[in-house]
Amino acid sequence: MKKQGNQNNIHSLLRLLPYARPYTVQFLGVFLLVVIFNATSVLQPYLVKVAIDSDISVPHPNLHGVFIIGGIYVGIVILGVFSNISQMLLLQYTGQRVIRQIRIELFSHIEHQGMDFFDHHAIGRLVTNISSDTETVSQFFTQFFLSMIRDGLSIVMIVIAMFELDVRIAWECMTVIPIIFGISLLFRNWLRNAYQATRTRLSNIVAFLAENLAGMRIIQIFHQEDQQADRFETLNSLHRKANVNEYGISVIFNRVLELLGNLAVAAVVFIGGGAVLHKVILFGTLYAFISYIQKFFQPINSITQQWNTLQSSMVAADRIGKVLMVESKIQEPVAPVLMQDPKGQIEFQDVEFSYHQGEPILKKVSFVIKPGQFVGVVGATGAGKSTIMSLLTRLYDPDSGTIMLDGVDIRQMSLTDLHQYIGMVQQDLQLFTGTISDNIRMFRSDISDETVFNAAKAVGIHPLIERMPDGYQTWLYAKGANISMGERQLLSFARMVALNPRVLILDEATASLDSQTEEMVQNGLSRLTESRTTLVIAHRLSTVRHADVILVMDHGQVVEYGSHDQLLRMRGVYAALYENAGVEVLA
């Protein structure tokens, strides 16, 4: 099972490699610079060896030769520094561009998912995928990739240099490689499991924080600060333990390799020293061997340290890959139907839907709404009112049946056209950080300032905006926290006027307002619904009392259909709702 999981992680990492393909030339440039840097690094001990054996440890030392070799040594050091700086800068530039593209595509992929995706994925985890996981994968391109090329080439070039110096001693040095391989295998599973645990627990913390910060009002109203702090402490403690465990295993692994490297140096001194005493090799050769065996373990140690990066990158890539592999259930049609002048007729034909299999929310729902009608949708909580609106805007697709706009199946329309024709204002308003003008035009550059002003005037919020310090350039905080509920509601109405949809959906848009604010909003609402097909979901029956038609929902079905007076005469579900509403309905 663990082997299968590791293979999946590797596959997910390889799945991200095509994002690097457009930057092949840059990566080749990095490779060339690495070759130059490694060559200068390997040449340095050899030059010292030549100076010792040819110009210093001789009966007649050659100072001129030492100066020449010293000058060459300085030159290759400068070349090495230049190539090292260049390769790191080029790789960082290229790696960050690759990650930028991955992050953009991941965000776009999430944005185009249906609502069922968000029903099953915690927002905090998605934030982690886009921010933290992509940053971790960037380390694969900017750290692990460089280490594999630079350190791998360094090992190869050092081995070649050692065999050039003395084949027998070089072979004796190679006996350490199986030991290194065995130690790496021994620690591999421990390291992978430790990295997986750390990433998972960090993700849990981010998800917990996102949910708590979003629901801070509820937490404070119910005085749950201490309880949530205790839960956070538990999550934080688990993450701390996983982090300490990961660090501990990594430290032990690296120190074992460091000890092995020191033992190898001691062995070279013992073997090479005997060879020098027996005149088999010169002292300069022994110096070069000692330098090379130290350099030999440096890239190995660097590669093993990058094992952390590889493991965390594979885990992060696997998490990103799982998100990217989710196909949206809301698919664009291959050949979308173009509607020149939609009238706004809506028809449901035997529509059935369930959020969870075997638990139907809508059952054979059928009705027709004529163009320009003002239609109310009422019913008890859970009757399926909001679900109808979600299906009409294709936030979900029905399990069976057909939803039509002007005789065209909405699944045959492009989502862009559909959302241009159908607009929705919900009870849970969403305003974004930005100016009032930005929020009315929804950051669209094709909506002019004049359109924004006219939209605000149409719903009656223009005088309120003009009285604000910066008018339409007044900055709104997240969710419009610095303006009143009524002002937020009117801004959402102005947004709909600016977008100018043919069909308007109001999902309990005034349910949370007090009477005075609701009166102000109702004035804006009456202007907003002029000459549009309008569907209104409302707990307050007074909101839909004057509707052309009222749909009465009960247990996922349309049980009654007609005007307010007609439904009262039926003495059915609507009449019961009306009577239970009491004074509020009669007001």
Tell whether 373 and 484 lie within a shared domain: yes
Q: What is the pLDDT of residue 83?
A: 93
Report the CATH number at residue 302: 1.20.1560.10
460 shares a domain with 350: yes
> Would residue 5 count as lying in a domain?
no
Contacts of 362 (CB under 8 A, 6+ apart): 351, 352, 353, 354, 384, 387, 388, 391, 398, 556, 557
* 318 and 353 part of one domain: no
Beta strands in 324-385 (DSSP E): 346-356, 359-369, 374-379
Question: 3-class secondary structure for 21-35?
Answer: HHHHHHHHHHHHHHH
Domain-located, residue 335: no
**124 and 68 in one domain?**
yes
Amino acid at site 101: Q
- Does 469 map to a domain? yes
What's the CA gap between 516 and 253, in Å, rounded? 70
Which residues, 6 or more positions from 542, have their beta carbon under 8 angstroms from its beta carbon?
A: 581, 584, 585, 587
- Provide the residue range defining the domain that includes 424: 346-586
User: Strands 503-507 and 533-537, how do they pair?
Assistant: parallel
Number of domains in the chain: 2
Tell whether 76 is covered by a domain.
yes
Quick: pLDDT tens for 270-281: 777 777 777 777
Return the structure tokens found at 11: 């596959």
248 and 156 part of one domain: yes
SS3 content of the chain, % helix, strand, coil (to 5): 70, 10, 20
Q: What are phi and psi of 581, to 5 degrees?
A: -70, -25
Residue 239 phi/psi, 5-degree rounding, is -65, -40
CATH code assigned at 549: 3.40.50.300
Q: Do 240 and 356 fall into the same domain? A: no
pLDDT reported for residue 583: 35
331, part of any domain: no
Q: Taking the complete model, does pTM exceed 0.85, yes or no?
A: no
Residues 393 and 470 placed together within one structural domain of the fold: yes
Q: What is the pLDDT of residue 362?
A: 92
User: What's the pLDDT tens digit per position in 561-586?
Assistant: 898 889 888 888 888 888 776 534 33
Residues 507 and 406 occupy one common structural domain: yes
**Low-confidence stretches of the chain (pLDDT beneath 50):** 1-2, 583-587
Residues 306 and 451 placed together within one structural domain of the fold = no
The half-sphere exposure of 126 on its side-chain side, counting CA atoms within 13 A, is 18
> Is residue 9 domain-resident?
no
Q: Are both 387 and 319 inside the same structural domain?
A: no
Give the model's pLDDT for residue 508.
65
Does some domain include residue 341? Answer: no
Shared-domain flag, residues 99 and 166: yes
Query: H/E element holding 292?
Result: helix 283-324
Q: Which residues contact 263 (CB under 8 A, 6 or more apart)?
A: none
Closest-CA residue to 401 (of 361, 364, 347, 357): 364
Q: Are residues 318 and 401 in the same domain?
A: no
Domain annotation covers residue 245: yes
